[in-house]
Structure 1
Amino acid sequence: MSDQHHDIELSGCSPTPLAHYLKALGILRLVAEQADKNAQGWWVNDHFWLRSKYDREQLLNFFIEQYHPTPLVAPWNGGSGFFSNDNTLAISAISDGQAIRFSRYRNTIVICRKLLHDLKLESKPKEDKPELLQECRNRFPDQELDWLDAAYLITSDGPKYPPLLGTGANDGRLEFTNNFMQHLQNIFSFEDGIVLDETGECLKESLFSNLSNVRSSGTIGQYDPGSLGGANNGTGFEGHSAVNAWDYVLMMEGAITFAAASVKKLESPDGSALAYPFCVRQSGVGYSSSDSVDEETTRSEIWLPIWNSPASFSAISTLMSEGRVMTGKRKPRNGIDFARAIASLGIDRGIIEFQRYAFQQRNGLAFFAVPLGRFIVQGKPGVEELLTTLDQWLYRFRRTATGKNASGRSARVLRLIETAILKLCQRGTSAEVQSLLIALGEAEATVAISKSLKEGEKGNGIRPVPLLSTDWLKKAYDGSIEFRLAAALASISHTKVGPFRRHLEPLDHATWNAAFLKWADEDNDPSLVWGCGNLIRNLSAVLQRRIVDVMKSGKEGNRSDLLAPLSGRLNASLGDISQFIAGTVDDQRIESLLKGLILVDWPNLSADDRTALQGSHTPVPNAAYSLLKLCHLSSLSKNTSIRLDPRISRLAIAGKFSEATKSASRRLRDSGFPPALDEVYLTGEVARRTTAALVFPISQQASERLFNHVIRRDKLGVTLHE
């Protein structure tokens, strides 16, 4: 960079609409290639800044007096000006003119016409189009190949068209190159190259947002949907389509910055495929008008980088042409993967934000470049580690949920998952991790009740969600009672009765503790007791089922199996249980979190994690709970336990609460622990919630508190502590 340089704010160039982003690249490219190779550009507060040897007036003079337009031609398109039925006014004017600044353009037009003559093409090519495209690459001068690379590529599967320029510089009925020439005709005299009257004011507006009333008829196409006119688009009932000619010209000049590449896709059996900078398949989530239908009608989405440090056009061109973005060890497939790459900083350094666009079909056959939001490049530690273990499962679930025979529920759940992932990558807070956990739990439940999803078309069905690492707990924990209670329930397990998860889904017993679970061959497992009822009814059903199963296992095996049917890797605190019984918690949220938390790899929960998830042990729950819970513990001391009596829980669940507490008092007294009361009268919701609360596992310390709450120490027949 020379000692003399000027920094100019181009307030007419912003990340949205797409036309203005491309315009910024066009300005930097033209100045760097035609005037100052040391020119640099960058973004500040949504405006583009240019550093070059030009000041503001000199920059205007460059475009007015020195700028040589890039010869953008598309002889493979109908409407391009090369065929008899096309609008040929602009292309003829360029050909017949004498202006030096259009000499490259005239030469390129001559090459195209000779090429069409040699191939005997007098109308828009169809079957001959691949040959024509190849001949263009063979005959065009090297300096024009960048335009061809931006417009199309020849692959082993035939021509491929980058989405930024539609289908080879064409979108529906709008042909880009002919429009480019027409807008040049609105700016310049092709005879002598002099700028026409008033177009200088248009240039000031395009670069610096100076107000100007000068507009050209026509459309800017997909790049600025707001300028297309239509109903309510203007001060009257109907708006008219008009465009600043300089906006269109500079936008097209900027589009050349993007160059596609034909690459071998190692992730798939395809021979070759189109790789486009920062471009992925559309994900129909993450914006206010999102709809899964968008994925079917959208060409793709593109994430445009925004950088805040001065960079040369050479550096930006390299960045655009390579478009290095990685999700783990692979390239992103869709918008969700791209957001993950940003969260894990799997992108080139120097980029501070990405502006997300999708090319969505919105006006007949035409496409609009719809802005879908801004994403800050800010690493979210641990996010990618959470998601990596789900990659294969998510890939299979997405493929199935978007298939022809997919149910509406599976498609809805997929949107929940992808929305949660997108928000997690943006924010990385516990709320987003929870949302994703809940969505995964919903997906698991969806697959569990669908034979077609479990089996698949060719035996490649969807397995249960793989066990999630305990890091999910730490990142999802928000300090709420609901989370702690749901986590305690989800952690319940028993060597013979199995994990809590089996009460919600038909799991293969042999894979209970395996890294990759399998579905049971039959769905008639009597342990599947979780239904559509409320949380209280379902917990009571689980309580009764686990006691039945543990009693059965004791008859068939070791009597030690009778112990701990309700023990878990994480214990609920007495204070949280008191809140549950009082009904001051959100039952629906507990259930939603539970369905996600059962997916966690609970056997690997560390002691530190258990401590971090502990609530308060005050207040102690009501006396009725204390009586009943003491009869459902594995032990009261090292060598002292109370034999499980299934009749107690059956009475409580049946609503005979007084008889249940009387039976519990008798069981305690017979075991050498005389209670201070014989029975407790509870009715209604409190009685039902007290019964359901028996399912929550508690610690040895908590059981001692319950003991002190209802047992008469002066009448003890045994010693509690050794």
Structure 2
Amino acid sequence: MLEGAVLFNAHATRRFGTTTTSRAAAPFAVAGHGAGYASAADSDESARGEQWMPLWPQPTTLSELQRLLGEGRAQIGAKPVHEPLDMARAVAGLGTARGITAFQRYGYIERNGQANLAVPLGRFRVPDHVSPRLACLDDLEAWLVRLRRLARDKGATGRLKVAERQLADALFAVVQHPDESAHWQTVVTALANVETVLLSSGNVRCGPIPPLRPEWVSVADDASAEWRLAVAFALQAAGFRRNDRAPIDPVRRHWVASKNQETAVVMQGRRGVDDAVALVRRRLIEATQTGLRRLPLMPARQAATRLADLAALTAGEVDLDHTLSCARVLMAVKGREWAQRPQTTQNPVMVRWPDEGWQAIRLAMLPWPLPDGRSVGTDPAILRRLESGDAATAIELALRRLRAAGVSATIRAGTVAPETARLWAAALAFPVGRETAGKLVQRLDPQSSTA
């Protein structure tokens, strides 16, 4: 007999404060969820649910054990836990305060006819400390309930079921390893996949990813160029209010349709380069319609694109598909809260500059005048030439616009391969700050003053 086994007991009851139907109540019993272990499948989810058996390495007294199993439940805040994922979050939020180092997870599953077997589903190890990073998961709580309900419907598509299970697996992993950015990256990728499935099916019952706190940027920061670029892309807007730096016309409406603005959706979630170019094209069209000769894409506070990352992007060294996948999730970050407590991302390890031809194009496609006040009117034809693979003409047009503004660039001409030209077009979707623009002017025209 295992220590404490005789103290387990169950009876039919309805939990206080819930509207769920009566079910067997036993220590650490929750509903079934086919996720979080290698052999997970939909068939593992039965009405009998799961039970998590606590494991402790040190001797305990009978009274302590009776108290532990007498409670026999978990809560997140004031809400009782009903799902395995919520159980994992509750356990991780408590840490080892109860002396429990792990839970052995069992599922009561029908295998042969009406025979119900207790099948081990793996072991959940309790983190040795409570990580404040896990608070980020609170943002998803209500949305995950709707998603889980939608994925359990009889009419749910196979794509949705697979995407939901991948997200659940990623969440189980991050709860056990909250201080590892790689696991948070997996969660972000899974969230992007789920949202793509939901939006492509036109399902509005669950809704897109809910608003996220700014700390998502720091917990998933893996120091990669892709992540820094994703942050810059996601948080940019047409402008920012002076009083609170809240974004004006952020870019999420080009991915998630807002009321009466369905035609603004131009990002499809397939190829990163196509989505980035589509965003620039749409913003130029909207600017032209309002009589503006600029590209209305400004960086959020402390979220401007670094030159080293732009150099890597324009050289074809960046996974743009992954970058845009992460960016679609980060578009849900609350802009007003970001302005109040912006998160920092890790700096590039090298100092690099993009090709001088692209530098000229970037200066000809700014959202505001140059730092010294000179205005370079944007020419949409530059983007069209890059899209068609004609970088030489795009550079020529950009240099012409710069000369008209009084910038005498040392470069006179240039060209790149057609596929690189499209990357150059996509790179315009990543906003630069005024300081960076000043550096580009000084590099192209050393005699120019940007004071």
Same fold (TM over 0.5): yes
Aligned partners of 2:33 and 2:40: how far apart in 1?
9
- Give the structure 1 partner of residue 393 of structure 2: 659
**1:171-570 correspondence runs (5 A):** 254-255=5-6, 257-260=8-11, 262-268=13-19, 270=21, 272-295=22-45, 297=46, 299-345=48-94, 349-378=98-127, 379-428=129-178, 429-451=180-202, 453-454=203-204, 461-495=205-239, 498-506=249-257, 508=258, 520=259, 523=262, 525=263, 527-531=264-268, 533-552=270-289, 554-555=290-291, 563=294, 565-569=296-300, 570=303
- 1:690 and 1:445 mapped to 2: Cα distance? 26
- Give TM-score scaled by structure 1 length: 0.57
Q: CA-to-partner distance for each residue in 1:356-406, whole Å, 9 max, x for gaps? A: 111122233222221112222224412442122221111112111211221
Paired residue for 1:584, among 311, 317, 322?
Answer: 317
One-letter amino acid of the counterpart of residue 539, structure 1? A
Give the deviation of 1:443 after TM superposition.
Answer: 2.0
1:358 counterpart SS class? strand
Aligned with 1:371: secondary structure? strand
Percent of aligned pairs with the same amino acid: 30
SS in 2 for 1:695: coil
Structure 2 residue identity aligned to 1:445? T
Distance 2:207 2:372 in 1: 41
Q: What is the CA distance between 1:683 and its match in structure 2? A: 2.1
CA positional deviation for 1:415: 0.7
Unaligned stretches of 5+ residues in structure 1: 1-22, 29-253, 455-460, 509-519
Which residue of structure 1 lines up, in the alignment, with residue 369 of structure 2?
A: 635
Match of 2:403 in 1: 669
Which amino acid counterpart does residue 290 of structure 1 have in structure 2? Answer: A
- 1:121 corresponds to: none
Equivalent residue number for residue 413 of structure 2: 679
Q: Deviations over 1:296-353 (max 9, x none)?
A: x362111111123322334323322321321222121111111001110178712222
Determine the C-alpha separation between the residues in 2 that align with 1:617 and 1:630.
23
SS in 2 for 1:687: helix
Q: Give the secondary-structure state (helix, strand or coil) at the position aligned to 1:369.
A: strand
Query: Deviation digits for residues 414-448 of structure 1, max 9, x if unmatched?
Result: 11221111111111121122221222222222222
Q: CA deviation at 1:665?
A: 0.7
Q: RMSD of aligned C-alpha atoms?
A: 2.4
What is the distance in 2 between the residues matched to 1:686 and 1:551?
A: 26
The 3-state SS of whatever aligns with 1:302 is strand
Q: After TM superposition, give the deviation of residue 673 of structure 1 in Å.
A: 0.9
Q: Gaps (5+ residues) in structure 2?
A: 240-246
Note the C-alpha offset of 1:655: 2.2
Using the TM superposition, name which of 677-686 and 623-632 deviates more.
677-686
- Which residue of 2 is the match for residue 151 of structure 1? none
Q: 1:269–1:312: structure 2 CA closer, same or farther, 3 Å change rule?
A: closer
SS of structure 1 residue aligned to 2:277 = helix
Q: CA deviation at 1:682?
A: 1.8
Deviates more, 1:281-290 or 1:358-367: 358-367
Cα distance in 2, alignment partners of residues 366 and 356 from structure 1:
19
* Equivalent residues of 2:395, 2:414 under 8 A apart: yes
Partners of 1:712 and 1:567 in 2: CA distance: 25
| Paired letter, 1:541 | A
Distance 1:387 1:267, change over 3 A: farther
The amino acid that maps onto 2:333 is: V
- The answer to whether the 8 Å contact 2:237/2:297 transfers is yes
TM-score of the pair, normalised by structure 2: 0.90
Shift of 1:599: 1.9
- Is 1:618 equivalent to 2:351 in the alignment? yes
Q: Which residue of 2 aligns with 1:595?
A: 328
Matched to 1:565, the amino acid is P
Alignment of 1:3-22 (within 5 A): none
Q: Residue 608 of structure 1: CA displacement?
A: 7.2
User: What do the CA deviations read for 1:96-115 (whole angstroms, capped 9, x no partner)?
Assistant: xxxxxxxxxxxxxxxxxxxx
- Name the structure 2 match of 1:217: none
Partner Cα distance (2:430, 2:106) in 1: 48
Deviations 1:650-700 (A, max 9, x none): 222222221111111111001111222332122232222122112211122
Greater RCO, CA 8 A, separation 6+: 2
1:24 partner SS: coil
| 1:461-510 deviation per Cα after TM superposition (whole angstroms, max 9, x unaligned) | 2232221001111111011111111111111211598322222221x2xx
Q: CA deviation at 1:592?
A: 2.4
Matched residue SS, 2:237: coil
In structure 1, how many angstroms separate the alpha carbons of the residues matched to 2:446 and 2:413? 14
Change (3 A) 1:607 1:318: closer
| Equivalent residue number for residue 208 of structure 1 | none
Distance 1:564 1:682 in 2: 23
Q: Is the 8 A contact 1:470 1:605 kept in 2?
A: yes
Q: CA deviation at 1:637?
A: 1.2
1:342–1:329 Cα change, 3 Å: same
Whole-angstrom distance in 2 between the partners of 1:497 and 1:543? 17
1:695 aligns with 2:429: yes
CA distance in 2, matches of 1:314, 1:492: 57
Deviation per CA, 1:109-140, whole angstroms, max 9, x where unpaired? xxxxxxxxxxxxxxxxxxxxxxxxxxxxxxxx
Structure 1 position 281, deviation (Å): 0.5
* SS of residue matched to 2:297: coil
Deviation at 1:704, TM superposition (A): 2.0
When Rg is computed on C-alpha atoms for both structures, the one with the higher figure is 1
Structure 1 residue 617, shift from structure 2 partner: 7.2
Contact 1:433 1:476 in 2 (8 A): yes
SS at match of 1:351: coil
Question: Where do residues 81-230 of structure 1 align in structure 2 (5 Å cutoff)?
Answer: none
8 Å Cα contact 1:328/1:346 also seen in 2: no
Equivalents in 2 of 1:585, 1:361: separation in Å? Answer: 48
CA distance in 2, matches of 1:314, 1:289: 37
Question: Which residue does the alignment assign to 1:53?
Answer: none
Task: Note the alpha carbon deviations across 1:214-233, whole angstroms, 9 max, x for none.
Answer: xxxxxxxxxxxxxxxxxxxx
> Which letter does structure 2 place at the counterpart of 1:542?
L
Structure 1 residues 613 and 638, CA gap change in structure 2 (3 angstroms): farther
Number of residue-to-residue matches in the alignment: 439
Q: Which amino acid aligns with 1:600?
A: V
**Farther-moved stretch of structure 1 (388-397 vs 440-449):** 440-449
One-letter amino acid of the structure 2 residue matched with residue 671 of structure 1: A
Give the CA deviation at 1:580.
1.2
